[in-house]
Amino acid sequence: LIDEQALADALRNGHLGGAATDVLSVEPPTAGNPLLANDIPRLIVTPHNAWGSREARQRIVGQLTENAQGYFSGKALRVVS
């Protein structure tokens, strides 16, 4: 958990060398979010899309395959609820 205003201030005053995030406290973000100001150096903000990496897709396909094989062989499924 991050105090977004404190992070913005730390980047502005040089107390932090850099930061990156793909999650903001309010999504979709509001215009007043301190991390969306134009004067913050060394900050990368990306859409919340880490699931879209090649590695994540490979893992998802692997889990789907395991679940399908488990279902047809009567084994326990990998379930998240």
Per-residue pLDDT of the chain (81 residues; tens, 9 = 90+): 899 999 999 999 999 999 999 899 998 889 999 999 999 999 999 887 767 788 888 998 998 999 899 989 988 776 776
* Residue 28 shares a structural domain with residue 42: yes
For the chain, the three-class secondary structure string (H helix, E strand, C coil) is CCCHHHHHHHHHCCCCCCEEECCCCCCCCCCCCHHHCCCCCCEEECCCCHHHCHHHHHHHHHHHHHHHHHHHHCCCCCCCC
Q: 64 is in which domain, residue-wise?
A: 51-81
* Residue 43 shares a structural domain with residue 18: yes
Gyration radius (Cα) of the chain, Å: 19
* Residue 41 shares a structural domain with residue 23: yes
* Residue 42 shares a structural domain with residue 9: yes
| Chain centroid, CA 21 distance in Å | 7
* Residue 35 shares a structural domain with residue 7: yes
| Biggest alpha carbon–alpha carbon distance for the chain | 59
